[in-house]
Amino acid sequence: MGYRTWDQVKRRKRIRNILLIVLALLLLGGAGYGGYQYYRVWKERKQERKYEELRERAFVTGTPTPTPEEIVKATATPTPTHAPTAEEMLYAALYERYEEYFTIQPDFTILHAENEDVFAYISVPGTKVDYPILANEIEDYYLDYNIDHTKGYPGCLYIQNCNSKTLDDRFVIVYGHNMRDGTMFGSLQSYNDVAFLEEHPYFFVYQENRVMAYEIAVISHVGTEHLLSDDYVKVNGVWEFDKFDGFETARLLERVRKDDGKRCYIATPEPTDEDNMMVLSTCGEGKRFIVVGKRVLDISTVGGLPAPLKISDSENE
C-alpha cells in the first residue's frame, strides 16, 4: 500500500469539508423547513381556535314564536284552517330533522365586533363548514387574509364584489380554501360520496333576522375558468364585471356536463335560471370543486323564529 502525497491529503480534506458543509446545509434546511411547516400549522390551528371561540360566543338559542294565527287559534273558537302550503310543509319537515339549525343562530352583533366585513354565516351539516362569510372592497382580500386581518392560511370564506351582500342574486359564489385538515371548504370533499349526499342534502345560511335553507343540486369538478366569465367585459385591458344576464345556472349545467361527464351529480328536477343558487367553490384535482345549493326556504326571524307547522296535525285536519 503506497503513501499518499501531500496534494492527495489536501484534496481529501477539501472533499470531506465540502461534504460536511453540504450535510450541515441539508440539516439546517431540513430544520428550517420543518420549523416553517410547524409554524404554518400552528398559525392555521390558531385561526381555527379563534373560529371555535367565536362560535361559542356568537351562537344563541332561540325558540319559535307563535304566529298571530296560532294565538287566535288558541284563544278563540276553533275554525277550519287553511291547507298548508308547500313551503310550510317543507319548513316543518326540515325543522323536525334539523331543529338546532333553526333554533341556534348566530348573533351578528358579536360577529360584526370581530370583523365588520362579516355579513352572513354558513353551516353545512356533517362537515366542518361552520364559518362566517365575508366581503371586502378589495377583490379576493380574504383569499390571503384571516378574519383578524393577519396574512396567511386558512383565509376566510368570502364572496367577490360581483355578488351582493344581500345574497339575493340568482347566482352567488362563496370561495374557500381546500385545507388539508378539512377546515374551511376542505371537508366539502365528503360530497364525492353519494351516500354522504343522501344523508346530508341541505345546508343553511344565516343573515341578521334571516335563515335560509339550500338543497344541494349540483356537485362537480369543473375547469378553473371563472364561473361568471361570460358576465365580465374587458375595459382598458382589464376584465370587469358587467352584469348578470340571467343564464348563469344554465351555463353552469352545460359546463358541468362538459368538464365532469358522468361523474357529476345534478339533481332531478334540475335547477333553472329562476332559482336562487349558491355555489360553494374550492380547489381539487387541479380543477374547481363545487357544491351548489338551490334555495328552498327563506325565513324572516324578525320577532322570533316562526313556529313550524306540526305535520301530524296538518295531516289530520
User: 45-316 adopts what CATH topology?
Assistant: Sortase; Chain: A; (2.40.260)
Residue 95, SS3 per DSSP? helix
Confidence of residue 36 (pLDDT cuts 50, 70, 90): very low
pLDDT of 34: 59
Say if residues 188 and 124 touch (Cβ distance below 8 Å): yes
Tell me the per-residue pLDDT of 61-102, one tens digit each, with 9 for 90 and over.
776 665 555 545 555 555 556 688 899 999 999 999 999 999
**Element at 66 (helix H, strand E):** none
Is 50 exceeded by the pLDDT of residue 260?
A: yes
- Long-range (24+ apart) CB contacts under 8 A made by 62-65 are 62/103, 62/104, 62/105, 62/301, 62/304, 62/305, 63/103, 63/304, 63/305, 64/102, 64/103, 64/304, 64/305, 64/306, 64/307, 64/308, 65/303, 65/304, 65/305, 65/306, 65/307
Considering the chain, what percentage of its residues have pLDDT values greater than 70?
83
Give the start-to-end residue ranges of the domains of the chain.
Answer: 45-316
Identify the weakest region by mean pLDDT among 5-19, 175-189, 196-210, 238-252: 5-19
Say if residues 262 and 239 touch (Cβ distance below 8 Å): no
pTM here is 0.82
Residues 307-314, mean pLDDT to the nearest whole number:
67
Neighbours of 306 (CB within 10 A): 19
Confidence of residue 39 (pLDDT cuts 50, 70, 90): very low
Tell me the per-residue pLDDT of 134-189, one tens digit each, with 9 for 90 and over.
999 999 999 999 999 999 999 999 999 999 999 999 999 999 999 999 999 999 99
